């Protein structure tokens, strides 16, 4: 392949001499101030959202517009002052890029009012907003370019653009390993949002921006790269919500030096790089966190074990190492190579090899496939449970009432769900019927949700959370503390030990049902109390046949109820269990799975609507969990 050639760049006049070092000091102070406003602000905002989730409070939605305005005023004012500097083209170019980036952050911050559970809507809004901002930035750049260059930019897929693609694929590679894609629409919108943000970065860091830093490659890479890194910081802060923006904040700034080195390489070819390399590199770098992570899962609720936050941190760390290596490698190899420009053929081979590497990593050690959320369709008509037979006292009377409740609930579901279930099955949306709440869980995105919401028999449609798979699941949680010598302090505090000794009541003959993260059935305080049979354990998440507990919370709560050796209140009771929390995250459908199992247990592999056994229902249920909006619930969902 031939080398790229073209007319030489027009000589850029050296910037006028400033009166003293104060303009440079002001620029440095402004850059540091922008980073200090942006990064801690994003971390604080994420923590506030997380604390609200943990304590069960509403998300501070109304605060985000205030944050947007405050960010623009605090960080944008000094940047705008630089943009209006009368003497130095470099300072003006720096100020314009930083001002535009801060304004873009203010606009994208407003999108945080969209709940994380509606991720498709957020990604669509982000794509539209970033694309609109990019168009505005391009128009303004044409009206008043910072520096005029005579040479035409490099072709769409020249050697520098191919090297930018290679760098973006290298940064994307760790995400193909640690992450997993959402649904088809969610993945498409993530790609569009990443591309729009890349276009916005290209509009801010085009040829005119780089030309302001003079022809020397060292000054271009060191100074221009640093300025570009600061400009990319607000853009990264607006690239995602509920924690997705945090990896971008780490990854994007070092890529400013990579972009500067690519511009230096383009100058060796006699042409400016133009916005294409910036668009490709930034877009591919942002595709990783936007497409391969779920904002609902970057949560403090999942941080106690080796869950999604852990793997997101791993992916971010590896991608950061790649970005730093690229900054050093490209800076040394491209900016310092004064003999010739990079050839298109080798650059294309490198990009193709990295594309193949991303595909192989995604398919082999990664988790190929789509893992989008499902929908829970709650129907208007619910079963009428008035006028139930009183029954006789004791278990026999309870069984009569439970059987009638089960019959009415199932009959209502069968009568009202038929047409909708057949329609959804015909659309290959995999409907799953429920009876305890007359509802259907089904595949589908926003379009299906809108269609379902318009149907007369539907009351409302909820998002039913679906967890994305991890590279490796955390090991099962196990306690290591010895059993107490006598009754535990909390058991004695409520006088349970006196009930055992003075009344002879230990819970014998009573069955307790646990709906939680699971139960470690091999725990010495619980192993002897398992009721047994084929209808005493159900795991709707993983389908495990033996009782297990990855998180440990369900083992703890059930142990407080029926644990032996002085641990539980009713050590003579037996227990049954169901997993409604996977990795400490639930969904309306999984909560219903376990509640239906507790009303009418069914054998392994059985149909809850036809194989339920109300007479085998436990006497007491323990439920130490909630169903917050991040899981798709509303106050009346269950």
% of the chain surpassing 90 pLDDT: 63
Token look-up 């029926």 returns: 562
- On whether both 344 and 402 belong to a single domain, the answer is no
Separation of alpha carbons 382 and 374, rounded Å: 22
Residue 184 lies in a domain: yes
CATH number at residue 530: 3.40.50.200
Residue 472 lies in a domain: no
Q: What is the mean pLDDT of the chain?
A: 88
Residue 476 lies in a domain: no
Token look-up 């991040």 returns: 630
- On whether both 330 and 397 belong to a single domain, the answer is no
8 A C-beta contact, residue 516 and residue 624: yes
Residue 176 lies in a domain: yes
Choose one of 430, 464, 498: the last residue of a domain: 464
Segments forming the whole domain that contains residue 221:
22-363
pLDDT value for 340? 62
pLDDT tens digit sequence for 446-461: 899 999 999 999 999 9
pLDDT tens digit sequence for 272-318: 777 899 999 999 999 999 999 999 888 887 776 788 899 999 999 99
Cβ atoms within 10 Å, residue 469: 12
Residue 369 lies in a domain: no
- On whether both 177 and 262 belong to a single domain, the answer is yes
3 state SS of 411: helix
pTM of the model: 0.88
- On whether both 553 and 430 belong to a single domain, the answer is no
Task: Look at 47-56, 178-187, 235-244, 538-547 and tell me which has the smallest mean pLDDT.
Answer: 47-56
- On whether both 196 and 310 belong to a single domain, the answer is yes
b/e 279-307 (16+ beta carbons within 10 angstroms → b)? bbbbbbbbbbbbbbbbbbbbbbbbeebbb
Cβ atoms within 10 Å, residue 63: 15
- On whether both 168 and 30 belong to a single domain, the answer is yes
Residue 447 lies in a domain: yes
- On whether both 165 and 293 belong to a single domain, the answer is yes
- On whether both 306 and 454 belong to a single domain, the answer is no
Based on DSSP, count helices (H) and strands (E) in the chain, helices before strands: 19, 8
Span 249-272, average pLDDT: 86
Residue 594 lies in a domain: yes
pLDDT value for 334? 66
Separation of alpha carbons 611 and 323, rounded Å: 56
pLDDT value for 574? 98
Choose one of 464, 497, 519: the last residue of a domain: 464
pLDDT bucket at 473, cuts 50 / 70 / 90: confident
pLDDT value for 157? 67
pLDDT above 90: residue 46: no
pLDDT value for 614? 96
Separation of alpha carbons 589 and 586, rounded Å: 8
pLDDT above 50: residue 17: no
Total of domains in the chain: 3
- On whether both 425 and 557 belong to a single domain, the answer is no
Closest among 340, 325, 177, 360 to 251, alpha carbons compared: 325
Span 179-204, average pLDDT: 96
Choose one of 421, 448, 464: the last residue of a domain: 464
User: What is the length of the chain?
Assistant: 638
- On whether both 590 and 541 belong to a single domain, the answer is yes
- On whether both 593 and 457 belong to a single domain, the answer is no
Residue 475 lies in a domain: no
- On whether both 529 and 439 belong to a single domain, the answer is no
Q: Going by C-beta distance under 8 Å and a sequence separation of 6 or more, which residues neighbour residue 514?
A: 554, 557, 558, 561, 575, 576, 577, 578, 621, 622
């Amino acid at each position: 392949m031939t080398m790229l050639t073209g007319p030489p760049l027009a000589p850029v006049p050296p910037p006028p001499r400033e009166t003293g070092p104060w303009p440079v000091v002001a620029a440095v102070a402004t850059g540091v101030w922008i980073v200090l406003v942006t990064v801690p602000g994003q971390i604080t905002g994420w923590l506030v959202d997380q604390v609200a989730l943990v304590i069960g409070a509403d998300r501070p939605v109304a605060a985000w517009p205030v944050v947007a305005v405050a960010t623009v005023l605090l960080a944008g004012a000094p940047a705008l002052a630089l943009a209006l500097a009368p003497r130095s083209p470099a300072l003006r170019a720096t100020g314009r890029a930083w001002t535009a980036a801060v304004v873009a952050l203010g606009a994208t911050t407003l999108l945080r009012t969209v709940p994380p559970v509606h991720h498709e809507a957020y990604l669509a809004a982000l794509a539209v907003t970033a694309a609109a901002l990019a168009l505005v930035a391009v128009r303004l750049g044409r009206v008043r370019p910072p520096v005029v260059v005579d040479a035409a930019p490099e072709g769409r897929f020249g050697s520098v653009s191919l090297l930018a693609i290679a760098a973006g694929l290298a940064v994307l590679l760790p995400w193909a390993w640690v992450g997993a894609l959402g649904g088809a629409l969610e993945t498409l919108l993530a790609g569009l949002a990443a591309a729009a943000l890349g276009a916005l970065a290209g509009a801010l860091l085009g040829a005119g921006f780089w030309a302001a830093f003079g022809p020397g490659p060292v000054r271009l890479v060191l100074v221009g790269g640093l300025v570009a890194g600061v400009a990319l910081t607000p853009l990264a802060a607006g690239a995602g919500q509920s924690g997705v923006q945090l990896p971008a904040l780490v990854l994007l700034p070092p890529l400013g030096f990579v972009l500067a080195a690519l511009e230096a390489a383009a100058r060796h070819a006699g042409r400016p790089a133009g916005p294409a390399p910036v668009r490709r590199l930034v877009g591919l770098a942002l595709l990783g966190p936007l497409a391969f992570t779920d904002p609902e899962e970057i949560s403090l609720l999942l941080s106690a074990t080796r869950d999604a936050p852990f793997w997101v941190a791993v992916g971010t760390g590896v991608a950061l190492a790649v970005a730093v290596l690229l900054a050093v490698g490209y800076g040394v190899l491209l900016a310092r190579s004064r003999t010739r420009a990079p050839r298109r053929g080798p650059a294309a081979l490198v990009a193709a090899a990295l594309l193949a590497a991303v595909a192989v990593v995604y398919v082999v050690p990664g988790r190929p496939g789509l893992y989008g959320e499902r929908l829970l369709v709650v129907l208007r008509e619910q079963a009428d449970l008035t006028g139930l037979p009183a029954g006789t006292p004791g278990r026999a009377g309870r069984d009569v009432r439970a059987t009638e409740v089960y019959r009415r609930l199932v009959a209502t579901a069968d009568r009202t769900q038929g047409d909708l279930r057949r329609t959804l099955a015909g659309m290959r949306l995999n409907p799953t019927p429920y009876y305890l709440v007359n509802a259907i869980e089904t595949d589908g995105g926003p379009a299906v949700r809108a269609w379902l919401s318009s149907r007369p028999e539907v009351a409302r449609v909820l998002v039913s959370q679906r967890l994305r798979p991890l590279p490796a699941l955390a090991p099962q949680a196990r306690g290591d503390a010895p059993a107490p010598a006598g009754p535990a302090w909390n058991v004695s505090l409520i006088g349970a030990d006196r009930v055992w000794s003075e009344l002879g009541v230990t819970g014998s003959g009573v069955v307790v049902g646990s709906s939680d993260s699971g139960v470690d059935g091999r725990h010495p305080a619980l192993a002897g109390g398992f009721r047994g049979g084929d209808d005493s354990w159900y795991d709707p998440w993983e389908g495990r046949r033996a009782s297990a507990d990855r998180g440990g919370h369900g083992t703890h709560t059930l142990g407080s109820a029926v644990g032996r050796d002085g641990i539980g209140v009713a050590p003579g009771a037996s227990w049954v269990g169901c997993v409604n929390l996977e990795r400490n995250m639930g969904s309306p459908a999984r909560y219903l799975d376990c509640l239906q199992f507790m009303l009418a247990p069914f054998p392994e592999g059985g149909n809850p609507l036809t194989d339920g056994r109300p007479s085998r229902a436990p006497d007491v249920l323990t439920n130490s969990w909630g169903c917050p909006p991040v899981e798709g619930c509303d106050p009346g969902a269950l």
